Structure 1
Amino acid sequence: MAQRVILAIDEGTTNSKVVLVDAGGKIIASGSAPVPITHPQSGWVQQDAEEIWAATSHAIASCLRQAPKVQIVAIGISNQRESILIWDRKTGQPLGPVVTWQCRRTAAACDALRDAGHEAGVIAKTGLPLDPMFPPTKAAWLMQHHGQAAKDICIGTVDSWLIWKLSGGKVHATDCSNAARTQLFNLAKGRWDPELCQLFGVEIDCLPKVCDSSHIFGETSGLSVLGDGIPIASAIGDSHAALFGHGAFASGDGKITFGTGSSVMTTIAQFTPPPQGITTTIAWSIQGQPTFAFEGNILVSAAIFPWTAKLLGLAGVEALLDLAQSVADAGGVSLVPAHVGLGAPHWDSHARGLISGLSFTTQPAHIARAAADSLAHQTADIYDFITEAGSDLGRIFVDGGPSTNPFLMQLVADTLSHAVTPCRNSEASAIGAAHLAGLATGFWPDLGALTALAAHGTPYQPHLPEPLRDPLRRVWREAVARATLHL
């Protein structure tokens, strides 16, 4: 008898990954394929929609070859957020490129809207500031340069493109989490906002239908890699999917994804316009009920480690972290990794990296320790804003490469004065999408069943007393202030 599984697609910026998840929550097979990125001019970042679909199809085929005797109960989708494309509603052909979340081509348009005094109103409705990372100015650019009659065009994020392709062009839909990142969706009212669409110059009728994250969007049709009739049962942005995959279902639960940069997301009880420096978003929606979250994104996190290792003439990151552990603290040294500016909660693109607090007693180990400390301090900066906004902190889960290092995670717990719990599964986003698809189809009955599947390690408990922690935080804040002086 064929094993019943959920097929989860995790379509990222550089790779499409596909996994099969069994009823016990275990990944039994996986496949992946690269997705090309092009930079036609400085600051422009784009992809090809058909190449995204080809990579997804290749990853599905690769995954299924490893487990040919399975019955796919449902498909779940996790996707890179904020990337946008348009396509012909009749032919399904893409019109122009996928303009990715990294692309800065509409920076001037955002500046103009900000100068005209629109930012406060946009934030109040969407929880998002005016920035070219978000899709509406990019959608307008695509319409201006590659558009045709509005009635013949579909506008969508990458999840809606995959739903369209999987359904054989029958379904144009998205979920609340992806809609919330378009800056065209009114979070308080739960619908596309006509005034925002008019402000940005986006045709509201071209946008997809917005559904729950756990929802049967349609069924597969006419595909070479999958049979017809498989429910497409979830869609969710990748960072949101990781949060769901951790089982962070209670208000105040959150996660930190550590990587080149870091993503911090914490659920909140209701929609609240964000304090300046972080954003508000919809984490997911189930049975018509959205779960909201605060989010902050750090630009340079673990990326500082290889840079510092090279600066100190060390063999690599492992040697750097070994050296960092050889001293009790950084000896008053701070390293602010503002090499490409500072992200949340400071959002200062003109800030630059800085090493401060040097003295004749400073050793290379102190600089190494300061680099390690920066990972924790930047995270704490975001959580300071979240708690000041009135959000109580529940469980904090951690994932990504640095989360496997006990020394670094103990630093994070000590600096936050809060326990952090590592995830044992490296594919948290795919797992989250699978869990949502399983909920929609009855593969798992409820959130309680999903909580039982969560695979986490032993929490790191904070050991640093506040009288010792507070002076370290004060020194860090002083260093950040220096890094943001524009001389």
Structure 2
Amino acid sequence: MRAILAIDQGTTNSKAILVSEGGEVLSRGASPVGISYPQSGWVEQDPNRIWASVCEAIAQCIAAGPDVSIEAVAISNQRESVTIWDGETGEPLGPVLSWQCRRTAPECEALIASGHAGRVLEITGLPIDPMFPGAKMKWLIDRAPAGRKLRVGTIDSWLIHRLTGGKVHACDASNAARSQFLDLKEQVWSDELCALFGIHKAVLPEVRDSASPFGVTAGVPGIADGTPIAAAIGDSHAALFGHGAYDVGDGKVTFGTGSSIMATLPRFIAPSDGITTTVAWRIAGKPTFAFEGNILVSASSLPWMAGILGLPDVAALLELAATAPAGGPGFVPAFVGLGAPYWNSDARALFAQIDFNTTRAQMARAVADSIPFQVHDVFAAMLKHGDVAIGSLYVDGGPSRSDFLMQNVADILDHAVIQCEAPEASALGAAYLAGLTLGLWPDLAAIKALPRATRRIAPQQGPIRGELKTWKDAIARSTFVPESAKVE
């Protein structure tokens, strides 16, 4: 039996799956990564531990699966996280700076104050914000030892380096589009932005199609040397592709630590209103563009609140939340500021409109409802563009398995959502792209025709005006920082 080995390197875990020619997941493996917080606002990981976790996940997956011929390797990966290494020895020269890391906020603020925000947005589709790699790459380079052959890149490029035994320094267009250096219209690294951020273009990876040869494996335990690496793509983009969301307007929400909302576009459209434009994927040199909104804190607020309320787990929190009627207090999970569509690093997490009658169930409901309300705000920003409409809307990630949460999403958006039972949407998307590269599937229509277990949840009741008013009030309070509280 022929199969594709798909790696999904995430923020907290590395996963691997074997996918058959029929699109069936044959086996799975997973290994934790670990995150460290050296000081307030700093979030980093160990690049060697990321690689080790990938190898562990691969070993588990292969051991659990049937006897197959692995035809190719595919990669999906956490986006906006970057690292640095020696191109000759492969030695890491710094940590992985996570997409959550805010250490470059001062540098970003200085660039904005100097008037560069509009130009960066015009070229890359991205705002200047610590989430994105531009300033983070410069931070790593400035602290690297002298005299080394520097290589910097997103996590797909680090994995490609390791998988190929150090022979290839490349990334895919979707990851490049999140780097803050890619000219979206020209699909090349921007000399202007490299100069602005102080990066020499030679240290960056080569940009290739998402469905493309990325070299062959060398010295990877459990995988025969010479196995082609046939696809790489950012995890959120991979999930969109894995769902078969190929028609204009089709979109998805990936729920996780944060949330990514993405919807395909008919062409490149300049971003505005706090959302970004990105490359969803690139095939045969042609990019498919998408709007995206990135929510910094989403499902990660649920275990936090469960702990505050003394509940054993998130399931108990959602069970409690479901007992409270809608329309209670508001909660904004701005633990590390707010992402789309607000992009406010000074925002603070808070509850709004609580009183002596507020119950534990209402507090739980407010935290749960903050997830769909943030999604609502991103789609509202997208829909301000008159030629953009929501088509089929898929949901994935752990929280998408909660009927309570997803019903609230459908109600607040007043739009049906499609639950996908397969938890490996990102890895499947990468596998499908690799199959496209190999010719296992001839075209997108063949991939879309592969069986998928889905369930449609229709809206039952749209948001009450009062609920949206409470949410907007909470957002306004969250984003207001008194002058006396600002740090010089």
Would you say same fold, with TM above 0.5? yes
Residue number in structure 2 paired with 1:344: 340
Residue number in structure 1 paired with 2:263: 266
Give the TM-score, by structure 2 length.
Answer: 0.91
Counterpart Cα distance in 2 of 1:454 and 1:349? 42
**Which amino acid is the alignment partner of residue 439 of structure 1?**
L
SS of the equivalent of 1:86 reads strand
- Give per-residue Cα distances to partners, 1:165-187, cap 9 Å, x unaligned: 22222222111001111111101
Instruction: Find the partner of 1:418 among 411, 415, 418.
Output: 415
Q: Do the aligned residues in 1 keep the contact of 2:217 with 2:227 (CA within 8 Å)?
A: yes
For residue 388 of structure 1, report the CA deviation from its aligned partner: 0.7
Q: Answer yes or no: is 1:482 the counterpart of 2:477.
A: yes
Residue 378 to residue 454, structure 1, CA distance change in 2 (3 Å): farther
Q: Do the aligned residues in 1 keep the contact of 2:84 with 2:153 (CA within 8 Å)?
A: yes
Residue 438 to residue 389, structure 1, CA distance change in 2 (3 Å): same
For residue 19 of structure 1, report the CA deviation from its aligned partner: 1.0
Residue number in structure 1 paired with 2:134: 136
For residue 311 of structure 1, report the CA deviation from its aligned partner: 5.1
Q: 1:427-442 counterparts in 2 under 5 A?
A: 427-442=424-439
Residue 115 to residue 88, structure 1, CA distance change in 2 (3 Å): same
Q: Do the aligned residues in 2 keep the contact of 1:338 with 1:354 (CA within 8 Å)?
A: yes
Q: How many residues align structurally?
A: 481
Q: Which range moves more in the overlay, 165-174 or 216-225?
A: 216-225
Residue 134 to residue 448, structure 1, CA distance change in 2 (3 Å): same
Q: 1:45-84 counterparts in 2 under 5 A?
A: 45-67=43-65, 69-84=67-82
Residue 254 to residue 206, structure 1, CA distance change in 2 (3 Å): same
Sequence identity percentage:
54
Counterpart Cα distance in 2 of 1:175 and 1:196? 19
Provide structure 2 residue ranges, at least 5 long, that are not aligned to the other structure.
Answer: 483-488
SS of the equivalent of 1:146 reads coil
Q: Which range moves more in the overlay, 428-437 or 163-172?
A: 163-172
Instruction: Find the partner of 1:375 among 351, 365, 371.
Output: 371
Counterpart Cα distance in 1 of 2:118 and 2:78? 26
Counterpart Cα distance in 2 of 1:456 and 1:92? 41
Q: Do the aligned residues in 1 keep the contact of 2:252 with 2:262 (CA within 8 Å)?
A: yes
Residue 280 to residue 149, structure 1, CA distance change in 2 (3 Å): farther
**Which amino acid is the alignment partner of residue 157 of structure 2?**
S
SS of the equivalent of 1:214 reads coil
Q: Do the aligned residues in 1 keep the contact of 2:59 with 2:221 (CA within 8 Å)?
A: no
Q: Which range moves more in the overlay, 230-239 or 342-351?
A: 342-351
**Which amino acid is the alignment partner of residue 279 of structure 1?**
T
- Give per-residue Cα distances to partners, 1:46-81, cap 9 Å, x unaligned: 333333222222222222222362101111001111
Q: Answer yes or no: is 1:93 the counterpart of 2:74.
A: no
- Give per-residue Cα distances to partners, 1:243-270, cap 9 Å, x unaligned: 1111111111111122333221111122
Instruction: Find the partner of 2:284 among 281, 284, 287.
Output: 287
Residue number in structure 2 paired with 1:153: 150
SS of the equivalent of 2:445 reads helix
Counterpart Cα distance in 2 of 1:361 and 1:86? 53
Q: Which range moves more in the overlay, 131-140 or 15-24?
A: 131-140
Provide structure 1 residue ranges, at least 5 long, that are not aligned to the other structure.
Answer: none
SS of the equivalent of 1:216 reads coil
Counterpart Cα distance in 2 of 1:353 and 1:87? 36
Residue number in structure 1 paired with 2:382: 386
Residue number in structure 1 paired with 2:245: 248
Counterpart Cα distance in 1 of 2:144 and 2:310? 50
For residue 212 of structure 1, report the CA deviation from its aligned partner: 0.6
Counterpart Cα distance in 2 of 1:103 and 1:324? 30
Q: Which range moves more in the overlay, 439-448 or 24-33?
A: 24-33
Q: Answer yes or no: is 1:462 the counterpart of 2:459.
A: yes
Counterpart Cα distance in 2 of 1:257 and 1:40? 28
Q: 1:223-242 counterparts in 2 under 5 A?
A: 223-242=220-239
Counterpart Cα distance in 2 of 1:55 and 1:360? 48
Residue 222 to residue 369, structure 1, CA distance change in 2 (3 Å): closer
Q: Do the aligned residues in 2 keep the contact of 1:187 with 1:282 (CA within 8 Å)?
A: yes
SS of the equivalent of 1:117 reads coil
Q: Which range moves more in the overlay, 259-268 or 201-210?
A: 259-268
Residue 187 to residue 149, structure 1, CA distance change in 2 (3 Å): farther
Q: Do the aligned residues in 2 keep the contact of 1:213 with 1:235 (CA within 8 Å)?
A: yes
- Give per-residue Cα distances to partners, 1:392-421, cap 9 Å, x unaligned: 111111112221122221111111011100
For residue 433 of structure 1, report the CA deviation from its aligned partner: 0.7
Q: Which range moves more in the overlay, 218-227 or 300-309?
A: 300-309
Q: Answer yes or no: is 1:190 the counterpart of 2:187.
A: yes
Counterpart Cα distance in 1 of 2:220 and 2:287? 32
Q: Do the aligned residues in 2 keep the contact of 1:421 with 1:456 (CA within 8 Å)?
A: no
SS of the equivalent of 1:215 reads coil
Counterpart Cα distance in 1 of 2:427 and 2:283? 18
Counterpart Cα distance in 2 of 1:180 and 1:35? 25
Counterpart Cα distance in 1 of 2:169 and 2:355? 61
- Give per-residue Cα distances to partners, 1:138-183, cap 9 Å, x unaligned: 2222222215458x33222221122122222222211100111111
Residue 423 to residue 351, structure 1, CA distance change in 2 (3 Å): same
Residue 485 to residue 200, structure 1, CA distance change in 2 (3 Å): closer
Give the TM-score, by structure 1 length.
Answer: 0.91
Counterpart Cα distance in 1 of 2:323 and 2:204? 55
Q: Do the aligned residues in 2 keep the contact of 1:323 with 1:365 (CA within 8 Å)?
A: yes
**Which amino acid is the alignment partner of residue 160 of structure 1?**
S
Q: Do the aligned residues in 2 keep the contact of 1:147 with 1:153 (CA within 8 Å)?
A: no
Instruction: Find the partner of 1:216 among 191, 213, 216.
Output: 213
SS of the equivalent of 2:14 reads strand
Q: Which range moves more in the overlay, 267-276 or 471-480?
A: 471-480
Q: Which range moves more in the overlay, 290-299 or 419-428?
A: 290-299
Q: Do the aligned residues in 2 keep the contact of 1:247 with 1:454 (CA within 8 Å)?
A: no
Q: Which range moves more in the overlay, 360-369 or 132-141?
A: 360-369
Instruction: Find the partner of 1:333 among 319, 325, 329.
Output: 329
Instruction: Find the partner of 1:403 among 393, 400, 403.
Output: 400
For residue 281 of structure 1, report the CA deviation from its aligned partner: 1.2
Counterpart Cα distance in 2 of 1:91 and 1:353? 44
Counterpart Cα distance in 2 of 1:406 and 1:282? 31
Q: Answer yes or no: is 1:275 the counterpart of 2:272.
A: yes
Residue 149 to residue 43, structure 1, CA distance change in 2 (3 Å): same
Residue 59 to residue 122, structure 1, CA distance change in 2 (3 Å): same
SS of the equivalent of 1:256 reads strand
Counterpart Cα distance in 2 of 1:64 and 1:323? 40
Counterpart Cα distance in 1 of 2:326 and 2:38? 45
Residue number in structure 2 paired with 1:11: 9
